[in-house]
Structure 1
Amino acid sequence: MDFAKYLPLSQRRPADEVNVTGDRRAEIAAVVREAHRLILSAPEGERDARARTFAANAGLAMPAPPADSADALPASADAIESGDRRKIAELERVVEAALRLSDALGLNAEIAPLTYGAVAMYASTTAPFDRRAAISGHSVVAVDGDWRLGQGPELHGTAEGIVRFLTGLSDVPPRPPAR
């Protein structure tokens, strides 16, 4: 008897998975480019300091002074995109740094919902215990993205809000849907 057909994953519809990868270079580069866009909105005298802070928080190497740090970000993004493979932990760090930057500038970071989803999935396993406990046993649904994680009763939040909660940038957890 073939027991495999009774396993939950064996019955899903086949899909093209040729582009599925653990390499996060493209997403990291996109977030670095977004950070550069955010930095350009800062007063000119603050841009290099903001770029250095972002790079330090993101774990990125930047040129030594007196080089313009803000102007180095697009080249850094290009190098990341064409360089060695990058892991999800690096993506989480860069997204968190971009969110900190957006908070400091009072702007909204424009990060792809699926990038937030990847970071949320990773953070749901590495976040402090109290944050993991808040979503444990639930299906966390991004109301503005095409993703969900976990199983159980639904908790809703924006993709950014879920990531902010799991990374400790916000104390507002995803909530049950309004009735």
Structure 2
Amino acid sequence: MTDWSRFLPLSNRPRDADGEVTRNWARPASGLLLSLANLLDARPEALRRETLRPAVSVDAAVRELLTLRRWSGWQRFAARVGAQEMPSAEVAALDPDRLASALREAAMQLSTARARCSVREFGEILVAALDLGTALDVDLGVDPFASGAVALDLAVRAPVPRRSVLTARTLVATDSEWQVGSGPALPATASSIVLFLAGRGGVPPHVDEA
């Protein structure tokens, strides 16, 4: 199996510099959920907009994210095999004007001292934030190290078509200090790379490096 970690500078950091954040992503996850809540409070009409996924509205994407935050591991697995409906009945019943406060409640739960959030769970929040931010033309200010960690996690789990791109090209984040893949460099924004790896977009468009 390809050692994808060698394509990211994250593996070269001192162990004490990133040990805590790579084990628990609760704090940045809480911040992103709060940013999304504030965005919906400021622009409630945005719920009717379409996301990067055809026929999936911002409203539906937010409900999906809230469902994932409330589900256990086995419920997530059941959803993947079609044995569990998405969103959950509880989240589906929420009035649209309650979605922002529900995101804020989820953010508060992740802000406690005992809260835990894996990089995969954080990736779900990050991808949703990038998706919604792109749909609404809003920059939510994602930390470069966070986007790189999620890119690495997505890369090692990517299906064959996306993995073949990573074998042929090195996706270089022009606005962050990380890259993933092998082969000739393809400079692109960090957000476009993460969205591609998450299946929310095509091969990232080439951008000029600063």
TM-score bin (small chain): 0.7 to 0.9
* CA distance 1:54–1:116, shift in 2 (3 Å): same
Deviations 1:83-140 (A, max 9, x none): 4321111111111222232244343332222211111111111122111110125443
Kindly name which structure, 1 or 2, has the bigger radius of gyration based on alpha carbons: 1
Matched, 1:158 2:167: no
Secondary structure of 1:20's counterpart equals: helix
Query: Paired residue for 1:118, among 129, 149, 156?
Result: 149
- Residue type of the alignment partner of 1:17: D
Q: Which has the higher contact order (CA 8 A, sep 6+)?
A: 2
Structure 1 length-normalised TM: 0.73
Amino acid at match of 1:37: N
Distance in 2 (CA, whole Å) between partners of 1:34 and 1:101 is 11
Within-5 A mapping of 1:1-179 = 15=14, 17=16, 19-21=18-20, 22-43=23-44, 46=47, 53-57=61-65, 59-61=68-70, 65=94, 68-82=98-112, 83-136=114-167, 138-173=169-204, 175=206
Matched length: 166
Identity %: 27
Post-superposition offset of 1:77: 0.9
The answer to whether the Cα contact below 8 Å between 1:36 and 1:74 also exists between their aligned partners in 2 is yes
Gaps of 5+ in 1: 1-11
Q: Is the 8 A contact 1:39 1:51 kept in 2?
A: no
Instruction: Give, in angstroms, the shift of residue 52 of structure 1.
Output: 6.8
Letter in 2 for 1:54: V
Q: Could you say which residue in structure 2 is the equivalent of 1:9?
A: none
Deviation of 1:57 after TM superposition, in Å, equals 3.0
Which one-letter code corresponds to 2:64 in the other structure? A
8 A contact 1:162–1:174 mirrored in 2 = no
Pair 1:159–1:60, CA change in 2 (3 A): same
Q: Which moved more, 1:139-148 or 1:119-128?
A: 139-148
Structure 1 residues 72 and 125, CA gap change in structure 2 (3 angstroms): same
What is the Cα deviation at residue 71 of structure 1?
A: 2.2
Secondary structure of the corresponding residue to residue 172 of structure 2:
strand
Q: Which residue of 2 aligns with 1:8?
A: none
Question: Unaligned 5+ residue runs, structure 2?
Answer: 1-10, 49-56, 71-89
